Amino acid sequence: MPPRHPYVGDLVHTAFSGTHQDAIAKGLAAIGRRATEAGTPASAVPWDVPYLPIDPKDVGRTYESVVRVNSRSGKGGVAHVLNTAYGPDLPRTMRVEFGRRVQRAAERSTTAPASPTTRNWPG
């Protein structure tokens, strides 16, 4: 099955564009905030994330592969991956410069990171 095959390909829930990555990151954060405010698990909050009509977990996918870093990733997507994989939440001013550096590294690289937790990329 080709990875980009509609509905079932490995990349069906994957965002590569910076705009999509940022919207997904903000949507996931909003669900987390609503769950915290309601004192419920995030799975109990109605699913409402831009560009993801269904929760990838409902079909056996993980969030790790939803946002992938590449040369088209924007500051929001890069910051989301950094935050979810390693924990730091960069201030906006740092996101701009860090995003540029990641874009340059991605443009120079001949490979893409296998996952957000790939520590030795670019290779």
Summarised one tens digit per residue, pLDDT across range 57-107 is: 888 887 777 777 777 777 888 888 888 888 888 888 888 888 888 888 878
Q: Is the pTM of this model over 0.75?
A: no
> Each residue of 11-50: b (16+ CB within 10 Å) or e?
eebbbbebebbbbbbebbeebeeeeeeeeeebeebeeebb
Q: Note whether 45 and 51 are within 8 A (CB).
A: no
Q: Is 62 helix (H, G, I), strand (E, B) or coil?
A: coil
